[in-house]
A = this chain, B = another copy of it.
Amino acid sequence: MPKILVVGGNAAGMTAASRARRLDPRAEITVIEKTPFISYSTCGIPYFLAGDVRSDDLLSFTPGTLKSERSIDAHVNVEVASILPSRKRVTARRIDTGEKLSFSFDRLLLATGVRPRLPDIPGTSLANVHTVTTLDDAVRLEGPLEVAHRVSIVGAGYVGLEMAESLRSLGKEVTIFESGAHVLSSVDPDMARIIEYELLRHRVSLRTGSPVQALVGPEPVTGVKARGVLGVHPTDLVLIDTGVLPNTTLAEEAGIRTGDTGGVVVDEYMETNVPGVFAAGNCAESFCFIRRKPVLHYLGTVAAKQGRVAGDNLTGRRQKFRGALGTTVLKVFDLAVGRTGLNLAEAAAEGIPTVSVRIEALDRAGYRADAKKIWVKLIADRSSRRVIGAQAVGYGDVSKRIDVAATAMMASATVDAITELDLGYTPPYSSLWDPLHVAAQALLKKL
């Protein structure tokens, strides 16, 4: 009866544990989780904080239901202290009581996720300065948020933008400070500008090109000092969304290799340099399908797919992870935003000669009252004609176009192939030539 031990009970870890259970009904499977929660929707956190859903709704399993439905043991509030690969053992301690624990394994999966990367400025440890990386963070934020009126968000990434919408829906005054020239650096500036307009339209104060220099106290935080902003911007609460870092300390201490990206190095089977020890999810390196090299994706979707592959291989199969595009969609007020593959800056960093186009189109037959505008951008490798990136924003159906583009890109489609896609058309849902066709046709003219 093989012993499978999983460190980290969220997207990658839980997918792997469940997959392993399905493939091997007899394995002894144990999950160790540092926070009180397992198996929750991290992406649902902004909607929980907006009061749209309850925290329970975000949980797929509790340790109790995981045990009864899947025969998997989960230990929550337990922090791993060390991994001893040669002895096939992990030491841990119960966070509430300090009790020391020890787990043995035949195969181990590290799915330790990420921790916030805090900016190197004074004041980040003041009261009412929060990050929202885990559901536990979100639960702890609920109370302070209720009494705060003026909220400052440091960093305009996915979480920052989604939180801006949630906080506005709660009636808060919201200011976003972003060090870069534009919000959401994963899309190109011409697309980011549309998002910025949407934020302003919903009365979010936006301070781009304004790196925060200090969070000001005394306890709790009362203000934000940022470059280009006169004086101190008064605030009741600060949310920091300036990125995350893979949790790799345990791995490194155990002699498990990390890469230049900062993530745990894995082969295509999600196995680390230590045989029998796997890593998956946001703590591990992912593989960029376009650049053909290790990257960090920091996405629940990619984490789940890696977890599935790891679950296969934890039970002795030999399944490969083929890589991902970093496909992401998000909602910013009434605007849908999506991107996949490389943006222009990322392509330039790789030295890829690009050609790109942005078109404006309606998401369904133009004569319909419910037709809504979307902007679609396609980026191709000028020499191979291959599509290497797609972005879309708009008030209509963006998610479909991004998923279709991603699907084509995972088949290494050329711009020509996009023009030939046989997509479905009926006036209530689409147009005779889809916006993606139109974009590809426009791009062909430049090739």
A325 at the B interface (CB under 8 A): yes
Question: Which residues does chain B contribute within 8 Å of A245, judged by CB atoms?
Answer: none
A327 touches B424 (CB 8 A): yes
- Cα A322 to Cα B331 with chains together (Å): 36
A350 at the B interface (CB under 8 A): no
Please tell me which stretch of A95-103, A251-259, A271-279, A410-418 contacts chain B, meaning at least 4 of its Cβ atoms lie within 8 angstroms of it. A410-418
A11 at the B interface (CB under 8 A): yes
Task: Please report the total number of A residues contacting B with Cβ < 8 Å.
Answer: 62
- Cα A428 to Cα B299 with chains together (Å): 16
- Cα A71 to Cα B303 with chains together (Å): 55
Please tell me which stretch of A125-133, A172-180, A233-241, A400-408 contacts chain B, meaning at least 4 of its Cβ atoms lie within 8 angstroms of it. A400-408
A146 at the B interface (CB under 8 A): no
B432 touches A300 (CB 8 A): yes
A425 and B329 in contact, given A58-B367, A403-B404 (Cβ under 8 angstroms) = yes
Q: How many copies does the complex hold?
A: 2
- Cα A397 to Cα B404 with chains together (Å): 14
- Cα A249 to Cα B243 with chains together (Å): 67
A331 touches B422 (CB 8 A): no
A329 and B426 in contact, given A400-B400, A408-B407 (Cβ under 8 angstroms) = yes
Neighbour of A301 across the interface among B411, B427, B432, CB < 8 A: B432
A365 at the B interface (CB under 8 A): yes
Chain A stretch 349-405: residues in CB contact (< 8 A) with chain B = 365, 367-369, 397, 399-400, 402-404
Question: Which residues does chain B contribute within 8 Å of A41, judged by CB atoms?
Answer: 365, 367, 427, 432
In the complex formed, the residue of B with least CB distance to A305 is B420
A424 and B368 in contact, given A304-B432, A400-B397 (Cβ under 8 angstroms) = no
B57 touches A326 (CB 8 A): no
B406 touches A410 (CB 8 A): no
CB distance from A45 to the nearest CB of B (A): 10
Neighbour of A423 across the interface among B289, B403, B411, B413, CB < 8 A: B403
A247 at the B interface (CB under 8 A): no
Neighbour of A336 across the interface among B326, B365, B423, B429, CB < 8 A: B429
Chain A stretch 294-314: residues in CB contact (< 8 A) with chain B = 299-302, 304-305, 308
- Cα A432 to Cα B44 with chains together (Å): 11
A406 touches B426 (CB 8 A): no
A367 touches B57 (CB 8 A): yes
- Cα A407 to Cα B404 with chains together (Å): 6
In the complex formed, the residue of B with least CB distance to A424 is B329
Chain A stretch 302-345: residues in CB contact (< 8 A) with chain B = 302, 304-305, 308, 322, 324-331, 336, 338, 340
CB distance from A305 to the nearest CB of B (A): 7
In the complex formed, the residue of B with least CB distance to A341 is B422
Highest count of chain B CB atoms <10 Å: which of A41, A329, A403: A403
- 7 A-B pairs within 8 Å (CB atoms) are namely A299-B425, A326-B422, A327-B423, A328-B425, A329-B424, A331-B426, A399-B424
Sorted from nearest, which 3 A-B pairs have the closest CB atoms?
Answer: A411-B411, A329-B424, A57-B367
Given contacts A305-B422, A403-B421, A407-B411, 8 further A-B contacts (CB under 8 A): A43-B427, A324-B422, A325-B422, A327-B423, A331-B429, A403-B403, A406-B424, A410-B421
